[in-house]
Structure 1
Amino acid sequence: MAAVDLAAFDHNTADLVRRAAGYPIRIATKSVRCRELIARALGAPGFVGLMCYSLDEALWLHAEGLSDDLLVAYPTADRAALRRLAADPAAAAAITIMVDSAEHLDLVDAAVGPDRAPVRVCLELDASWRPVPGAHLGTRRSPLHTAAQAGRFAEQIARRSGFRLVGLMAYEGQIAGLGDAPAGRPLRGAALRWVQRRSAAELAERRAAAVARVREVAELEFVNGGGTGSLERTAAEGVVTEIAAGSGLVGPTLFDAYRAFRPRPALFFALPVVHRPARRIATVFGGGYIASGAVGPDRRPTPHWPEELSLLDTEGAGEVQTPVTGAAARDLAIGDRVWFRHAKAGELAERFEQYQLVDPASATSRQAPTYRGEGRSFG
């Protein structure tokens, strides 16, 4: 089973708003993937709109009435979804898709034809840091890195019928998604903080220039930036109009490694003990929920309760079984539960059809389906 501590979730919701310093927060839905939790956060003051990870997802959430302000954070090649978007005037007015090249515009035209109401598009600016030629620190996303490149592409969009440029986005993954205080690695932490300070300074100047250049071409409705790990830095720039966040709502283990903030763990999963192979080892059923990204120990699930349990390095978390070891393992019986935390926020929803939403104040719980539980998968 998987469970959400609603008190911790609500605390994290309020803390994200505090850290955003008055800037509206757009919820990154891929970090939640449960409609009831998305709606709960969206109902809190300070949250405005959704950042979806697929056009099909955005169309579904709009049809369900969750929001009329949806940004698709990744370019789409889903021709069927594009045809549905173009055929639905309400959806076309509410959903903005991401583009960074003329090829994206060509694909839309090929999918839905040129005779249509304008498709809302957002230009993505690459936010990586390139301190010297050939060096690239950050996610591999848009080919648009400079203000001049962004301006030229904005002009291409303006010359094309059937498109309306309404936004600009830049996601600084090397800051927002990379903890600056990794446990037990002080030298790496110091190096990360050095990189992040300089990357943030460079990006602030470049983003401001790009926004100014694109605004010469189009009246932007929004400029989106940031993420859970960089709310304060992004808000301090002043050029953004909104900030994206999602992982901070549930506090996965990858976000334990920041100095400036610490979300409360709000999402857990429990697995039953099925073997007792040794006095200090208990083996639970399943558990191989490895997070995406560069493979390493930080992508493994972490035993949370009973306390002071750990995985075996020789076996790790497996598809059908996961041994845990430690003094507390001696007291675990067959059928007992071991609780874990996942490394990334939304990916756990792909493993469970529902979450138990636990309200500590009333000592009650109820079930809420995940995307998977509603028969939806947008991978």
Structure 2
Amino acid sequence: MTPGESAAATRARLDAATAGLDPPLAVVDLGALDANADDLVRRAAGRPVRVASKSVRNRAVLRRVLARPGFAGVLAYSLAEALWLAGADGDDPVSTDVVVGYPTVDRAALRRLAADEQAAARVTLMVDSADQLDVLDAVAPPGTRPAVRVCLDLDASWRLGPAHVGVRRSPVHTPDQAHALARALVARPGVALVGVMAYEAQIAGLGDSPAGRPLRGLAVRGMQRSSARELAARRAAAVAAVREVAALEFVNGGGTGSLERTAAEPAVTELAAGSGLYSPTLFDGYRAFRGRPAALFALPVTRLPGPGLVTVAGGGWIASGPPGPDRVPVPTHPAGLRLVPTEGAGEVQTPLRGPGTAGLRVGDRVWFRHAKAGELCERVDELHAVSGDAVVAAWPTYRGEGRTFG
């Protein structure tokens, strides 16, 4: 959707652009994608933004974004994916600076990393325990491989006594724990500690202005303010403790929902973001920013089961996370459509009702937004790149390139 463009105009433009294609299909609106990328850079306030590939899952989109000022490097979600993006499979690299955002015990991928000196220089592993490196040493002992770059994963959750606010990731929570692990990593043969990462999911991934729930929004904002204050002090202390034993190249933090807050922390040298590029529905509930929907998918109308009802083929493209209404795809164009509560988004068909059904006929298409960003690409082989009212390219997704990384 372009600024000032009505929902009806957006629908007409997307329909016109894809008129020669059969749904199901997915598009990336280049005008919206570029505007979202510009907004992420603005919000990052001078910090480079590392692109979270799990929220993109399309090499052409990654290349387009990384070519823009303000973006640098990839935060991957799988070592096999990181090797591919770094050019270890013989393709031109998407990036020569790829950090794997999660620990890995993929022995085949670890063997490949250890056998490729160039890949080892381009890819950084995530660790929060020496146990993870035991797996590496078992398949490629020190002395038989180049030094492997590692990043220490610092837990960014907020703890109030027994209460835990945030995701459960790293066991490394305190500056003392970070210092102890850093010392162990520096002393370990065949390992180079080059970075620290701390992802504050309770701030970056939780909307502070949920539609129709003002009291919840008030509570979330209060929690996020308190959590951000605590984390800023703890992260600074942890980074200082790690720097006592290692010369760090980077300190990564933040996400689409927390760029302004995290960028204000002197200890952080770079940010991470990805979902904000596509702007899925889970990111509609933030006060600090409003993205433009850039990734949508279309399904064909196949039935007219009764007055005020239409049925589209497929539709059960449910997002990961705790099951709930916020994880289902949202019918967006034409306006005025909603899922039928007793059926929801179905595996092979999805009924819709509401005033938006007026005028829809068999063979027409309904446009949906996914709840999450990159997961849409696991459902389609390509994203049709739309500029204005024309498709200008068909960009294969990871799935379309025959790559599945879990």
**Which of 260, 263, 267 lines up with 1:232 in the alignment?**
260
Is residue 378 of structure 1 aligned with residue 402 of structure 2?
no
What runs of 5+ residues in structure 2 fail to find an aligned partner? 1-24
Match of 1:128 among 157, 160, 180: 157
Equivalent positions of 1:281-300 (< 5 A) are: 281-300=309-328
Q: Find the partner of 1:243 among 264, 267, 271.
A: 271
1:302 aligned to 2:302? Answer: no
Q: Aligned equivalents of 2:155 and 2:55: distance in 1?
A: 21
Match of 1:73 in 2: 101
Structure-1 separation of matches of 2:205 and 2:374 = 14
In structure 2, the partner of 1:106 is 134
Letter in 2 for 1:100: D
In the other structure, the counterpart of 1:84 is 112
Alignment partner of 2:163: what SS?
Answer: coil
Distance (whole Å) between structure 1 residues aligned to residue 356 and residue 283 of structure 2 = 26
Once the two structures are superposed, the pairs formed by residues 111-190 of structure 1 within 5 Å of their partners are 111-115=139-143, 116-131=145-160, 133-190=161-218
Q: Which residue of structure 1 aligns with residue 345 of structure 2? A: 317
* Structure 1 residue 331 displacement after superposition: 1.4
Matched residues, percent identical? Answer: 64
Residue pair 2:179, 2:241 contacting (<8 A) in 1 also: yes
- Which whole-Å CA distance do the structure 1 matches of 2:391 and 2:329 have between them? 26
> 1:33-44 alignment to 2 at 5 Å?
33-44=57-68
Letter in 1 for 2:43: R
Letter of the 1:221 counterpart: E
Provide the residue aligned with 2:70 in structure 1: 46
Which stretch shifts more, 224-233 or 330-339?
Answer: 330-339
**Take 1:364 and 1:79, find their aligned partners in 2: how far apart are those partners?**
41
Matched to 1:318, the amino acid is G
SS in 2 for 1:273: strand
Is the 2:336–2:357 contact (alpha carbons within 8 Å) kept by the matching residues of 1? no
Q: Does 1:25 align with 2:49?
A: yes
* Cα distance between partner residues in 1 of 2:270 and 2:293: 25
Structure 1 position 363, deviation (Å): 3.5
Q: Identify the residue that residue 354 of structure 2 maps to in structure 1.
A: 326
CA RMSD of aligned residues (A): 0.8
Whole-angstrom CA distance in 2 between matches of 1:165 and 1:158: 6
Give 1:209's aligned residue: 237
CA distance in 2, matches of 1:101, 1:8: 40
Q: Secondary structure at the match of 1:258?
A: coil
Superposed CA deviations along residues 89-147 of structure 1, whole A, max 9, x for unmatched, are 1100010000001101111101211222211000000000002x211111110000000
CA distance in 2, matches of 1:53, 1:356: 24
Query: TM-score scaled by structure 2?
Result: 0.92
Q: CA deviation at 1:365?
A: 2.5
Counterpart AA for 1:56:
A
- Counterparts of 1:48 and 1:330 in 2: how far apart (Å)? 47
Shift, 1:330, TM fit:
2.8
Output the CA distance in 2 between the equivalents of 1:61 and 1:102. Answer: 26
TM-score when normalising by structure 1: 0.98
Gaps of 5+ in 1: none
C-alpha displacement at 1:364, in angstroms?
Answer: 4.0
